[in-house]
């Protein structure tokens, strides 16, 4: 039973890393949102599994939040934003799938080496879980760097937060304060971003950040 619990947790955490990779090469916004929803579903399954094996019922709340907010409400809302802005046909200029995937693999191996080497004392699960969550976090960062479109940057940021939740739930008995705060931060982030997207659209009719880049640096 214990063995099964361990393997299952691994499977789900590894699945999250896999879905992160899938997000990296999506070049259509709708497809990206769908994969992000999948990411959130895998996360909520992973959190629910942790809740069960750690016998920590409060984690079910976190799982529920991941499922409802991140897998349903947020992708839905972003879907509408994309529609309203009329950018659903746009193919994004990603830095190129090949180099990005290679960079992603590099980051994953980096985090595994880092975590497994450094943390020999911590119990096996916590350590490997941290390696997975660091991978998800770094892949989210990578996505934020390689995308120019505001919506996909937001998605990158949320996948990064998913990595954090994976880490927080993997750490046994981490106080509830933090979990709720993480869920809340995502909510707040969404509100803020929503406000921003609305304003950006209002001003420029575009959510392409490169349109804003003209104003970088000092005014001549």
Partner 1 sequence: MTSLLFNPVYGVIAIPIIAAALLAALPGYRLTAQLNVLASLLTFVFALFLFFVGRAAPSPYLLIDDLNIVFIVLNTFVGFTAATFSASYIGHEIETGRLTPVNVRFYHSMYQIMMFGMNLALVSNNIGLMWVAIELATLTTVLMVGIYRTHEALEAAWKYFILGSVGIALALFGTILVYVAAQPVLGEGEMAMIWTNLVAHASEFDASMLNLAFVFLLLGYGTKVGLAPLHAWLPDAHAEGPTPISAVLSGLLLNVALYAVLRFKMLMAAHPEALAPGPLMITMGLLSLIFASFMLYRRRDIKRLFAYSSIEHMGIIVFAFGMGGPLANFAGLLHMVMHSLTKSAIFYSVGHVAQIKGTQRIADIRGLTQSHPVLGWGLAIGVLAIAGMPPFGLFMSEFLIVTTTFAKSPILALLLVFGILVAFGALLMRLSGFIFGEPTGAVKPAEASFVPLYTHMALVLMAGIYLPGPMVVWFQSVARLLG
Exactly one of 178, 187, 194, 208 binds partner 1 (CB under 8 A); that residue is 178
CB nearer to partner 1: pick between 44 and 133: 133
Q: Which of residues 139-158 bind partner 1 (CB under 8 A)?
A: 141, 144, 150, 153, 157
Map residues 96-115 to x or -, x wherever contact with partner 1 holds by CB under 8 A: ------------------xx
* Phi, psi values for residue 202, rounded to 5°: -60, -35
Q: Which residue from 122, 187, 194, 208 is in contact with partner 1, where contact means CB under 8 A?
A: 122
Site size with partner 1, rule: CB under 8 A:
53
The alpha carbon of 36 is separated from its chain's Cα centroid by a whole number of angstroms, namely 7
> Would you call 65 helix, strand, or coil by DSSP?
helix
CA 117 to chain centre: 25
Rounded to whole angstroms, what are the CA distances from 1 to 6, 7, 112, 125?
9, 10, 26, 15
Q: Where are the alpha helices (DSSP H) in the chain?
A: 2-24, 29-53, 58-65, 74-85, 97-118, 124-146, 150-170, 176-204, 209-212
Q: Are 169 and 195 in contact (CB under 8 A)?
A: no
65: contact with partner 1 by CB under 8 A: no
Among positions 10-49, residues that touch partner 1 (CB under 8 A) are: none
Give me the residues that bind partner 1 (CB under 8 A), please: 114-115, 117-123, 126, 130, 133-134, 137, 141, 144, 150, 153, 157, 160-161, 163-164, 167-168, 171-175, 177-178, 181-182, 185, 188-189, 192-193, 195-196, 199-200, 203-204, 209, 212-213, 215-216, 218-220
């Amino acid at each position: 039973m214990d063995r099964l619990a361990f393997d299952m947790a691994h499977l789900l955490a590894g699945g999250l890393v896999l879905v992160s990779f899938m997000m990296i090469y999506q070049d259509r916004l709708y497809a990206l949102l769908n994969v992000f929803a999948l990411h959130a579903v895998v996360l909520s399954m992973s959190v629910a599994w942790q809740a069960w094996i750690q016998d920590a019922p409060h984690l079910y709340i976190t799982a529920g939040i991941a499922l409802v907010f991140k897998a349903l409400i947020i992708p839905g809302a972003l879907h509408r934003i994309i529609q309203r802005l009329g950018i659903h046909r746009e193919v994004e200029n990603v830095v190129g799938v090949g180099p990005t995937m290679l960079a992603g693999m590099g980051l994953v191996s980096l985090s595994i080496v880092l975590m497994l080497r450094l943390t020999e004392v911590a119990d096996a699960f916590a350590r490997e879980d941290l390696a997975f969550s660091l991978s998800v976090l770094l892949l989210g960062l990578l996505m934020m760097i390689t995308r120019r479109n505001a919506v996909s940057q937001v998605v990158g940021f949320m996948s990064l937060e998913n990595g954090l939740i994976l880490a927080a739930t993997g750490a046994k008995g981490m106080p509830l304060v933090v979990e709720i705060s993480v869920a809340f931060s995502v909510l707040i982030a969404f509100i803020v971003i929503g406000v921003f997207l609305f304003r950006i659209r209002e001003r420029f009719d575009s959510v392409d950040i490169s349109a804003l880049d003209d104003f970088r640096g000092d005014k001549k």
